[in-house]
């Protein structure tokens, strides 16, 4: 497609602000993105409860032939924003100002939560930087927000920017 010809990544995006579709419909969304030549398929759906979380999680762990971003929207979707990157979702979203979708949390809160998760999950998290240089200017390899943290995309009312944390 045009994006590839220009050396860019093509993302096919699907949003359902009403519900999380069933497994077959979610798989169809991925298939349509694949057929369009997308490199990544982004799926954002309203989450009403645990069944919706499981449907999105099944999609993530069952899809390995195309990049996938799965994010739940709404008050019951916080787990998707924190845990789905561990299941293979390529990024998560937070807002820097005002939320642009239901369930988005502020960027500083997301960063803090992800750092806490990465710190608790990482066996290297308890080692202190060995040099003053590392303490003052941690590299991605020594920072607690290294590759165990997903990229965070933060959106503002006027723009969208991506901040990579360790990738």
Asked if 15 is an active-site residue, the reply is yes
Q: Are 80 and 56 in contact (CB under 8 A)?
A: yes
Asked if 126 is an active-site residue, the reply is no
How far, in Å, CA of 163 to CA of 167, rounded? 9
Candidates 42, 95, 111, 126; catalytic one: 42
Q: Are 67 and 39 in contact (CB under 8 A)?
A: yes
Could you tell me the two tokens for 141?
């390899």
Candidates 8, 15, 19, 137; catalytic one: 15
Could you tell me the two tokens for 18?
């009403």
Could you tell me the two tokens for 6?
């220009």
Spatial strand order in the sheet of 67-73: 11-16, 40-46, 67-73
- What secondary structure does DSSP assign to 12-62, as a single string? EEEEESS-PPPHHHHHHHHHHHHHTT-SEEEEEEE--SHHHHHHHHHHHHH
Q: Which residues are catalytic?
A: 15, 42
């Amino acid at each position: 497609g045009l994006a590839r010809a220009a050396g860019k990544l093509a993302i096919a995006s699907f949003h359902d602000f009403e519900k999380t579709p069933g497994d077959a419909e979610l798989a169809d969304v991925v298939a349509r993105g694949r057929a369009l030549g997308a490199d990544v398929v982004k799926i954002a759906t309203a989450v009403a409860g645990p069944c919706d979380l499981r449907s999105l999680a099944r999609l993530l762990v069952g899809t390995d032939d195309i990049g996938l971003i799965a994010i739940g929207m709404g008050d019951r979707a916080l787990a998707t924003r924190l845990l789905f990157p561990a299941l293979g979702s390529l990024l998560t979203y937070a807002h820097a100002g005002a939320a642009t979708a239901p369930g988005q949390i502020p960027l500083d809160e997301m960063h803090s939560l992800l750092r806490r998760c990465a710190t608790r999950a990482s066996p290297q998290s308890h080692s202190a930087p060995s040099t003053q240089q590392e303490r003052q200017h941690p590299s991605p390899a020594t920072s607690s927000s290294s590759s165990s943290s997903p990229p965070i995309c933060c959106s503002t009312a006027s723009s969208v920017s991506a901040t990579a944390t360790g990738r």
